[in-house]
Structure 1
């Protein structure tokens, strides 16, 4: 009889060192299809938030955050049989895959900028109209300019802590730091962003 498999819940609900989630991953690595499904259901929300923060909607490309999440999940499934616990959280393994897929999406968007947009969309258009699209693009542009003033590591910390919603401990595991250093970096980054917003009309 197959071993009982824990019900799916977001990774953040388990905690970075949760033994139950480790057992779930171990079962998935050893070919338990139910455990594999539970692992995917657990990581998908956090991967989706990360991809939306890093990608949003890439204009004139054929990739969206949802597309990239699908690619990440497929890559995780493919890599599971060879995954070995080397003392790092499983989320760090997933995060590495997500980083590569996000970079691939940005490169694809750069190549596809000159390509025509399909006449018939694959899914119903949810944007209210051109005015809302302009406002969304302006907001995204402002946010991109703000984040651009931060170092790469500060930017990742802000995205992981504020947008994705990871704890300082989880974020530290992903960026190779300590929880205390993550909190300090986050505080300094947000202080800098608030100062920029308060002192200039450019943003």
Structure 2
């Protein structure tokens, strides 16, 4: 590794490939260490960017070897600051794991039952057909899955889905238009 001298900088400014390589070999490890120490997530990539800009702007350089070192590290500093700012603007992404999610919200059915009050809810559910009432109670009140409800009632999952859909539609109709009879709401 060659020390960075004023003569080496002059040769690099003139475009001599060997001088450019010597400057890179002398300064790249230090630039890489500087970027790593400042928390860069891609210090190798930023090091390459620093030298691409440096070599393109060498003809503008003043101050010889000291000016080259100063300019190189000012480029490295600017790149790492840009990276850190960009990282701060990006939201932190965290994978969603349903088993660890503590948030919960009640279903529409549960909220409706809570809003109505127990007596009114029982009266409305009582107006459903036997099959709809059983399915709605097992699904909403007992919290059983479709499969568990089907097993408990000795019906197919498809039949349970249909009874639940019709029962909830009937309840919705009864809530929005109390004058509708349960028979009309079942259709």
TM-score (norm 2): 0.45
TM-score (norm 1): 0.42
Greater RCO structure (CA 8 Å; 6+ sep): 1
**For the pair shown, which has the larger CA radius of gyration, 1 or 2?**
2
